[in-house]
Structure 1
Amino acid sequence: MLNNYPARTQCAALADWEFNSHNSVSGEDLRPECPGEIRYDSSALREQVVRDPYDYARETEAVWRARGAVWEIADVFEILKGQFWRLHFVPTSEQLVTDVDTLYSPTNDEVVSMLQNIYHEHGWDDLQKYRTRECLEAVKKALEEHYP
């Protein structure tokens, strides 16, 4: 053990809308602020790894580490999967996924609802019925028509 953490520890952090994973002595990689809608998502049912960064990091580093959130790597993927299933992350093309919380504003409420409805109309969240290609074409068409 080094710094009171086993070297084999594997943890992941969600911060600044980025997924960061790191396998190191401390087993974590954080950047400031895990989004609240992920950090406090009661449906995620995944226990965070609780470590006081003031116990192992310099004070200047501990300040920003304390604002992040850390889970076991497998749990992070389950949390993200849940966000996708509930359409909190919405693919807007084959290469781009948009976080609906970044779209929410008085002017964007309609676009979020529109995108989620298109996915449901194309069979989301039943993968046996979901029509990927048709759905992405409908998303592209709707975005071009309503938000050129």
Structure 2
Amino acid sequence: MTDDDLTIRPATEDDLPAIVAMLADDELGAQREDTENLAPYAAAFARLAGDPHQHLMVAVRAGRVVGTLQLSVLPGLSRQGATRSVIEGVRVHADERGGGLGTRFITWAVDESRRQGCQLVQLTSDASRKDAHRFYERLGFTASHLGFKLAL
């Protein structure tokens, strides 16, 4: 997708430093991301790039990566065999926040989910990200489930 001077395209390995920097650019990300050691990110990128159901995307403006998200397409048995998509790792560069990029990015993900035959789009957001929750609700998402995690 290209609009004005913004392009949404699949990420390349060359985009990893910018992606990781955005993942680390908040209180939560700063605790769990390592912008100095990109090796684990490169290994993860290789796994993602080899899976046709994984879409690691970037938004680029004037040659600069200004946003990222991952869209995973998952077939399932529940909901009468529905295919669903999961949106994860949504980040918009601090310079771009409030300018509509997040809305355009999520709209792209929902449209791509429809194109891939998904009947449901879901996402998770850390409980502490209240601004993000309001953003997703404005886009029509509803807080419908309680999530759990187990660190391994």
Which of the five TM-score ranges fits, normalised by the shorter chain?
under 0.3
Determine which structure has the larger strand proportion and give its number: 2
